[in-house]
Each structure stands twice: as structure tokens, then as C-alpha cells.
Structure 1
Amino acid sequence: MALTLLRPSLAVSLALLLTLLAGPASAQGKTGQVTVFWGRHKDEGSLRSACDSGLYTMVIMSFLDVYGTTPTTYNLDLSGHSVAGMNAATKRCQFLGVPVSISIGGFGSGYSLPTNQSALALFDHLWNTYFGGNLTSALRPFGDAWLDGVDMFLEHATAAEHYDTLAVELSKHNIRAGDGKLLHLTAATHCKFPDDRVKEALDTGIFERIHVRFYDDPDCAAGFRGDEWGRWTNAYPFTKIYVGVPASPQAAASGYMDPATLRRAVLPVAQKASNYGGVMVWDRYFDKRSNYSGAIKNWV
């Protein structure tokens, strides 16, 4: 009725029609982001080169894969990458507006948080080693560079572990008090809802982003599942939810979707959610070779 009253010109009508037909990926008001995991392959290139590529809006270093043990031991495994130059690289990424987070967990079995005390000890280690802590005894592999966030990538955790305690403690701290930037708290979950490994932490409601991994999971062997996506987006309406994809068939045992399929069949569904955040790509090594992010960036 409104269109009849306005009597738009034929040119305006055609322009409006073309805009509508362009679809949600190119004409939508909201836009997404691309997160990438870095640190699993020495030949993937440097952290700086990942940020300089212009492809990513967040880089997550992986993994801090030993913690919660007795006696207390911590290990950052970056697959042979040298920490020399990481101070400057981190600051370069931040200058470009690309936050750099550290992911805890991973595929090994050397981590757990069986008690509140172990969760608080891990917080102390993270804070003093990678963020704003000032203990002189702390070994800071990246010097005075402060990272921007913590990601939980839990493969071997149980529902009884105390990641909720860690999440609450992290949320209390502003890592850059001077300019008011808060710590980015994220999680990389399995596609099947809920993921009991991290559910207690997510249910605190304080996570900024959830990267749902629609790969390497029997429940999502064919890739993206709209029903599971709906469960994640509905359960955490105030958290940005990301579609997690492998960058090539070699990057995961199952769940690979080529860029055209992602653009045509997945993103129009995912972007209907008001809390759609973007796409998480696993990982920089495979992405660098396949240019997956480059093929989807303008659609995300």
C-alpha cells in the first residue's frame, strides 16, 4: 500500500527490486567478522603476517595446553614458532585493529580445572604472563605486550570442572584500564548443543563470542546444521555466535564446505539470527594455502 501511495519512478522501483534480490550477504545491514586460529603449524607464517593479510578481525593463538596439574605446570605450545618478535607482532596486530587472544585447552590431555583453586591459579598465570599483571617473577614471553582475550577450546574437559570460576574471574578485569577495552572472552564449542565441556562457563552469560565448530564432529559430519545453529543462537541471545569451518578438506576429518556452498546455503541461514557474529576459520596454515577467507570475506 505504501508503495502505491508513493508512486516511485520506474528507476527507483527497479533499484529497490535489485537491492532486495541481492540477498542478505551483500545487502544486509549487519556485517560479520572472520576469526582465525593461529599457532598450530610452524609453516603458516608469522602472527604479524596473519594480521597484515587484512583477512581477519581476530586472531586466536593456540594453545596453552598444560595447566591445572600438580605440581603446577603451564605450557604454551605454538608448534615451534619463536616468541622472538612476538611483542612487536602483537602490538602491530592491535595497531591494525585486530585483537589477539590466547586459547586454552586444545587436543592434548595435559589440562584440567578440578577445583576452584586450580581455576584461580590459572587466572593468575594468564593475568601475570599475558595481560596486565606486574609480578616481577612472572615470565612474559611477549614482553610488555598485553593480549586482548582468552578463548576456551576444550576437548577433554568435563561438566564438573571449574571453567565458570575462571570465566567470572576474567570478566572482573579490564585488561586496558586506560582506554576502557574489555577482555574478549570467547569459546570454541562442538556443534552439538549443549557442549557439556564448557556449558557451565557459557551459562554465566558473560562470553562475548561463541565459535561453533561445525566440523570434526560426528553430529555435524556434513558440515553446518541449521537446527543446531538455532539452538546455539537461541540459548545465548546476548552473545555473538560464529559459524566455525575448516579452511580446506585437509584441515578437518569432516565438515568441510567449499566457499560457494558457505555463501549460498549457510550464510543466508546463519545471518537470520540477530546475534550472528561471523565465521571462524580453522586454521591459518590451511587458510593461507586455500584462500578460504579471501573467498568468503565479502559475504561474511
Structure 2
Amino acid sequence: MKLFSTSLAVLATLAGYATAFNVNCNSNYASYYGQNSARNQKTLGSYCADATEDVIVLAFMNGFPNIILNFANACETTFEGSSLLHCPNIAADIKFCQSKGKAVVLSMGGAAGSYGFSSDSQASQFADTMWNMFFKGTAAQRPFDDAVIDGIDLDIEGGSASGYTAFISQLRSHYASDPSRQYYIAAAPQCPFPDSYLGSTLNSAWFDMVYVQFYNNYCGLNAYPTWFNFADWDNWAKTQSLNKNVKIYIGAPGGPSAASSGYIDGSTLSTIFNAVRSKYTSLGGIMTWDVSQARTSGLAGSIRAMLDAGGSSSSFNKRADLTRPPLITAANLRPKPASAIANIPTRVEFVAGDIVDNKYATVVKIQANKSAFTGNWLISFKLPAGQTADSTSRGNLGVNGNTITISSDRNVESLQNMAAFFKITGTFNGQYALPDTASAVFIST
């Protein structure tokens, strides 16, 4: 993706935080913002005022670990005595976009810039910096003030290919520390498979969304059907990705001048999109570079219409492998006394985290099927033999050997959704520690 400058310069609903964006849909629309590609870029908030895009990708952090931000005409002010951008207007717009049900992620990289890690250690340390500057951590200078972004996107088109797996692992450990909302990791590889910069990272780190750039290459949309290779990416998603539910987006130029090659009109894109949707379950939707181009050309409106025509969403899919904790649903919770049937939640989910320092950080999320619990609840389950929750766990947890009991907080039982965060210690043998879902017991009191 191109970097322009002006003349001067992924838990759905928890404890009150809600977002309409559903990563499991095949009808999502992501678009990049910040580089004024069409030379008529409006404020971020103006693009979020309607329901066209589902994900806004802020572009770019084109320098790291020595941070350089560039949002063209969207932000040109810096902190006093610093070259670091300070963007209070974007900060306010991020909150507005999120209030409209959109996810906002920050893209790291781009086609031009000075970025890359020299070691895993440097990458891990930078993940701490990112958490403190853009997420729930604290830093002396936060470019978006108190606004909290929803994730990061790796658009790596240069520099070293090392360190990104360690960076994601450490960032996900921070994600797991905050069960109040869901955070995402995305990537934007070129369409030739495997990607020359992110290939190994895509195979070794957990990604939620992959925005494949089907342009500026032989495998672009303009080469459909001969060389267009969505099938390669679908196969990767199902056979090589750690997250077998990762969503692949069809990346398209937003207008004729948005890319050197690959632009197609809305009608042609609709034909390709519908063909892909009928064949590949990994499809997550469409991505465009960039929002100013797509809005100017009218392609954005066409994309929204085609996505809404027959799109589908699915809840978290139960996995056959052991790379992510499986879902417990009301159908397999036991026992079910008659007096408690009305209070059985729609789902109880073990939300994935990452293994950090031989600890697996996870979250248990309970979502009610009513506006509120009429009573209190308790759920207990067994961990694999030899594993237990450690002392940093929080929530109403009881630990007896490898049996964990989580109960509701009687002071906040009016909340529809509740969660507990804990870390599991033990020997993992390269896999996540999975609670024994067959042992789960839900009791309403």
C-alpha cells in the first residue's frame, strides 16, 4: 500500500462495552484511512457517520520501534518538544466510530517507511509500548489521548521479517489481561503466496483477519479467474493458520488511481465476490485501499450493497483441533434443573489467549439469554491433569487442584454479561491448555 503525505507531512459484549462488528461474518467491509489517496480525504468521523464500513484501518505507523506516525492531512500536530504526532481530533473520531459499531485498528508498516525489529526481545518490548500508547496502558504521550483502539494491522512491505511473532504473542498477552472488550490482530499481505515478509509469522501467530492485497501483482483481481489465487489463501486458513477460523478479505483498489494495477468496477467485483462467497468459508469480506478513493469512485457504496446481499454471520465455531479452547453452549451444559432452565446463558466461552512464560492466559465469558440474571450462577470445570490456575487470576474464582469454580458477583448480578480472567500453569507440550468442557456444570441459584 502506498504512503502519501501532505506538503508538510477482535469480547463482543462485556460489562457495558458493545460493538456491532462481528469478526465471524463474511460480509464485513474494511477500508484504510489516513493517507489521502484521492486528495480529498475528509475527517475520520465523517466516514463513520453512515453504515458503509465495518472496520477502519488507520494508516500508518510507518516507523517503529522508533515511532513515526503519518496520517497526511488528518493530523499534523505534535506533542510539544517532540516529533510524535498528537491527534486529538482523530481521538474523538475513534470514539465516535466505535459508538457507531465500527472497529478501529492501527496499521503498522506500509510501502514506505523505516520499520522492523532486530530481535524477538525488541519486538516484545515494543508490544508493551504499543499497549501503553494506544490501548489500555498508560504512557506520558498517547497520540490518541484516552481513545483505545481495537487492534493492530501488519502491512509489512519492507525491512526485516523477524520479531513479528514475538510482538504478537506479547501484545496478545496484554489483550488477555482486559476481558472487557475484544481486540484484534490483522495482516495485509500481498497476494503471491506465501507472503515474502509475513509468511512465517502468518504460520506461527494468531491472526483474526487477513486483508490480502489482490492488486499490483499477477494474482490480482484483474487476473480473475486465471491467476486470482483466493484458493491458496483459503487453503492456508484451513490447514496452516493457527486460527482455523481466521477470515480472509478480498483486498481491492478503491478507485482507478488507488493502485498501479488491479482496479475493477463494482459489477465485476460483485461477480468475483459472489463466486468466492459460494466456495470458500474463510471469506470475511472486502478491504479497500483506501476510503477516500472508494468513496470518491462510488465503489464503497457498491461494496456495501453486495456485502449485504446474502451475507452471513456465525457465532464462534467449535474447533476440532486443540489450538483454541472450544465453546460450551447451553445444549451441553449440565445438569439442567427445571428451575434453572430460564437462566441458562446463551453461551459460556473460553476465550483464547497466548502462552506467555509457560502460562496460558484465558477468559471465561458468560452471556445471558435474558436482560439480566434473575439469580446468581456458578460454573465449574476441570483443567487437564497437572495444571492449575495461578495466583494472578482474578474474578470470583475457587481453585481446588485442577478443578476451577467461577461464581457470579452478587453485587453486579444485574449485568447481562460477566467474565473472569485467569492464567493456567502447567506443561503444555506446544499446545494450549484446554479446560475439559465435558466436565462443565452450570448451576443457577
Report what 1:123 is aligned to: 127
How far residue 43 of structure 1 moved from its aligned partner, in angstroms, is 3.0
- Aligned 8 A contact 1:37 1:61 in 2: yes
How far residue 167 of structure 1 moved from its aligned partner, in angstroms, is 1.3
CA distance 1:216–1:120, shift in 2 (3 Å): same
Alpha-carbon distance in 1 for matches of 2:218, 2:279: 25
- Aligned 8 A contact 1:87 1:144 in 2: yes
Structure 1's unaligned 5+ residue stretches are: 1-29
TM-score, normalised by the number of residues in structure 1: 0.82
Report what 2:68 is aligned to: 75
One-letter amino acid of the structure 2 residue matched with residue 32 of structure 1: S
How far residue 297 of structure 1 moved from its aligned partner, in angstroms, is 1.3
- Of 149, 153, 158, the residue aligned with 1:147 is 149
Report what 1:63 is aligned to: 60
- Aligned 8 A contact 1:214 1:224 in 2: no
TM-score, normalised by the number of residues in structure 2: 0.56
CA distance 1:228–1:57, shift in 2 (3 Å): same
1:134 aligns with 2:129: no
- Aligned 8 A contact 1:223 1:256 in 2: no
One-letter amino acid of the structure 1 residue matched with residue 230 of structure 2: W
Query: Percent of aligned pairs with the same residue?
Result: 27
Where 1:287 maps in the other structure, the secondary structure is: helix
Please list, as runs of the form range in 1=range in 2, the aligned pairs for 1:79-228 lying within 5 A after superposition.
79-82=72-75, 83-135=87-139, 137=140, 139-159=141-161, 161-174=162-175, 177=178, 179=180, 181-220=181-220, 222-224=222-224, 228=229
Task: Give the structure with the higher percent strand.
Answer: 2
Alpha-carbon distance in 2 for matches of 1:152, 1:271: 28
Q: Which has the larger radius of gyration?
A: 2
Alpha-carbon distance in 1 for matches of 2:228, 2:294: 27
Report what 1:11 is aligned to: none
Report what 2:231 is aligned to: 230
Alpha-carbon distance in 1 for matches of 2:97, 2:222: 34
The one-character-per-residue Cα deviations of 1:80-119 (angstroms, maximum 9, x if unpaired) are 3122322221111111110100000011141111211221
Where 2:51 maps in the other structure, the secondary structure is: coil
Alignment root-mean-square deviation, CA? 2.0
The one-character-per-residue Cα deviations of 1:100-146 (angstroms, maximum 9, x if unpaired) are 000000111411112112212321221111111124x3x11211110
The one-character-per-residue Cα deviations of 1:163-197 (angstroms, maximum 9, x if unpaired) are 11111112222278252x22110001100111020
Moved more, 273-282 or 162-171: 162-171
- Aligned 8 A contact 2:252 2:287 in 1: yes
Where 2:142 maps in the other structure, the secondary structure is: coil
How far residue 241 of structure 1 moved from its aligned partner, in angstroms, is 0.4
One-letter amino acid of the structure 1 residue matched with residue 266 of structure 2: P
Which fold has the larger relative contact order, with Cα–Cα distance below 8 Å and residues 6 or more apart in sequence?
1
One-letter amino acid of the structure 2 residue matched with residue 153 of structure 1: D
Task: Give the structure with the higher percent helix.
Answer: 1
Where 2:274 maps in the other structure, the secondary structure is: helix
Runs of at least 4 residues of structure 1 off by over 3 A?
A: 223-227
CA distance 1:39–1:241, shift in 2 (3 Å): same
Aligned residues: 263
